[in-house]
Amino acid sequence: MSELLRVEQLVAGYGDAQVLHRIDLSLAEGRSLALLGRNGAGKTTLLNTLVGVTTHHAGRIHLGTDEITRLRPEQRAARGIGWVPQERNIFASLTVEENLTAAARPGRWDLSAVYQMFPRLQERRRNLGNQLSGGEQQMLAVGRALMLNPRLLLLDEPLEGLAPIIVDELLAALRRIVTGEGLSAIIVEQKARKILPLTDEAIVLNRGMTALHAASDSLLSRPAELDALLAV
């Protein structure tokens, strides 16, 4: 498998504050990564840095053969980075269908494919964004990112604050996206035991540095170590 993402000695944060310290990371095409750690460990900052919305202090980021370290967020999106932020950031005054098509790009993921993945969205395609439940808004945020037809999908706490039945629906969809469709993904999630079965690899961050990089199934088989790393 060819390398899709390479991060070298990355130092980044917000303004003068450095949150990430010399992060190295590599992800192959078709592979998925769980990004774990305690609150404040730097997980969201790492995703935000890949998207391009933090302050870069040092290091380099490559997506495929392109160096994207200095590119603006919209330029990174054009090269294939799809992002589902914690805040979802859906357009409240647009319909579901308008949200999905606003920035769509041609490719495997079109309206039909997203509606097949999330039938609830098809049922509510004429509803405004602010008329959806939290779970439906999360589905919409994932669907909208897929409509960009990204090479790499970044998801920041996709299960946060959702009812158990919606969590199960989203997990099934994510499994199909990363396992069935083979879309490369990095998933930040507090519920480690929910997300590790979906991913190939896992990185645990601590104070902005890599504390552990292991195969997901290997980390799942060491629950005491996992709990200690995450302070559970």
- Residues 17-63 have pLDDT tens digits of 999 999 999 999 999 999 999 999 999 999 999 999 999 999 999 99
- List, in order, residues 6 or more apart from 60 with CB less than 8 Å away: 6, 7, 8, 9, 10, 67, 69
Whether residue 181 sits in one domain with residue 69: yes
Give the domain extent around 125: 87-149
Whether residue 160 sits in one domain with residue 144: no
Whether residue 191 sits in one domain with residue 130: no
186 - beta bridge partners? 33, 154
Residue 229 pLDDT grade (very low, low, confident, very high; cuts 50, 70, 90): confident
Whether residue 193 sits in one domain with residue 145: no
CATH number (domain holding residue 20): 3.40.50.300
Question: Which of 126, 149, 172 finishes a domain?
Answer: 149
* pLDDT surpassing 70 at residue 16: yes
Number of domains present in the structure of the chain? 2
**Residue owning tokens 């950031």:** 89
* pLDDT surpassing 80 at residue 74: yes
Q: Which segments of the chain does DSSP mark as H helices, in order?
A: 43-51, 73-79, 96-101, 111-117, 119-123, 134-146, 164-175, 192-195, 216-220, 223-230
* Confidence (pTM): 0.95
Question: Which of 106, 129, 149 finishes a domain?
Answer: 149
